[in-house]
Amino acid sequence: MDPFAWTARGAAIQFDLFARATFFTVAFVCLPSCGAMAGSLQISKAWTPEAQIGGDGPLLMTIANQGSEADSLLRARCPVANFLEKHTVDRGEGAPAMRAISSIPVPPNQTITLTLDSYHIMLLQLRQSLSVGQHFVCSVVFAKAGVLDVGVEVAPGEPH
């Protein structure tokens, strides 16, 4: 066997084990749902609907900026998805359409809620199926607040 292929396969298996370990650890530590806080930002009610492996789905959450400076959500990474994008929804002529953007603005002294018809994060190419009640952790990176580890719940709607 080609040694490079073997190495790549070993790395993929290690990553998969890591993702599973993270997934199950969070399931125990983070019930029913986790809040995360860094600097003047607080994230709550992070959730995603159920979805099939290989599919896409929105990652939604509430972000409270209690500071007097604007921040912005630069990127996110979740063990359950191969890629993530930040999206907004354009409403021109015709049907509303999602569009990838480079960052999501988080204005000062405001609480924003990501929704499917406004700013949101999109999980692309899910590495596993997601069913209601599961939990996982995503890293969300902000320009000023830095990295927040956010517990995400798979839910039929916004958690209470």
Give 26 or 138: the residue with its C-beta nearer to Cu ion: 138
Residue 39: which region, alpha, beta or left (left: phi > 0; alpha: psi -120 to 50)?
Answer: left
Residue nearest to Cu ion according to CB distances in the complex: 87
CA distance 141 to 74: 6
CB of 88 to Cu ion, least distance (A): 8
CB of 120 to Cu ion, least distance (A): 6
Per rule CB under 5 A, is residue 122 in the interface with Cu ion?
yes
- Give residues 58-87 in contact with Cu ion (rule: CB under 5 A): 87
Element (H, E) at 148: strand 146-154
Sign of the torsion angle spanned by Cα atoms 66, 73, 35, 147: negative
CA distance 40 to 65: 6
CB of 28 to Cu ion, least distance (A): 30
Give 16 or 90: the residue with its C-beta nearer to Cu ion: 90
CB of 144 to Cu ion, least distance (A): 24
How many alpha carbons lie under 13 Å from residue 43 in its C-beta half-sphere? 28
Q: Given candidates 27, 38, 70, 98, which one binds Cu ion under the rule CB under 5 A?
A: 98
Residues that bind Cu ion (CB under 5 A): 87, 98, 122
